[in-house]
């Protein structure tokens, strides 16, 4: 599948990643938090789920969950609501910091 849709993306990704990075994103890497963080970082840079699934030996749905939530598990309704609230609070805090910096630059 990835070869048909993204014929060169897998090869380009393999060339760009260091051997250590390739080891980190594999399904059997013992530190799952580091693995998930690296996969999420790659997805945010535009790497497709299909290509990551092929390289990591994880399923496409697992890759998608990691990219969306940062973890490879289903979130309950409460956990999902809490995660959404934290994302909103983080965005509000970032805007607050930007406004403070603007005020400080004016002085």
pLDDT at 5: 58
Side-chain half-sphere CA neighbours of 3 within 13 A: 0
Positive or negative torsion for Cα 25, 50, 90, 101: positive
Residue 99 pLDDT class (50, 70, 90 cuts): very high
Does residue 31 surpass a pLDDT of 90? no
Q: What are the angstrom distances between the C-alpha of 99 and each of 80, 103, 107?
A: 29, 6, 13
Does residue 82 surpass a pLDDT of 60? yes
pLDDT at 6: 65
SS3 79: helix
Residue 76 pLDDT class (50, 70, 90 cuts): low
Q: pTM, whole model, 2 decimals?
A: 0.60
- Please give the Cα distance from 8 to 4 (Å, whole number): 9
The residue assigned the tokens 């609501």 is 81
Closest CA to 50 of 16, 19, 4: 4
Classify residue 1 by its DSSP letter.
Answer: -
State the average pLDDT over residues 65-87: 72
Token pair of 19, please? 């051997």
């Amino acid at each position: 599948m990835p070869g048909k849709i993204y014929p060169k993306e897998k090869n380009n990704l393999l060339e760009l990643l260091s051997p250590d990075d390739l080891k980190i994103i594999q399904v059997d890497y013992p530190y799952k938090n580091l693995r998930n963080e690296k996969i999420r970082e790659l997805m945010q840079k535009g790497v497709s789920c299909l290509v990551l699934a092929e390289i990591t030996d994880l399923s496409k749905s697992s890759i998608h969950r990691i990219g969306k939530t940062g973890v490879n598990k289903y979130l309950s309704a409460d956990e999902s609501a809490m995660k959404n609230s934290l994302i909103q609070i983080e965005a509000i805090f970032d805007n607050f910091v930007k406004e403070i910096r603007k005020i400080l630059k004016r002085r």
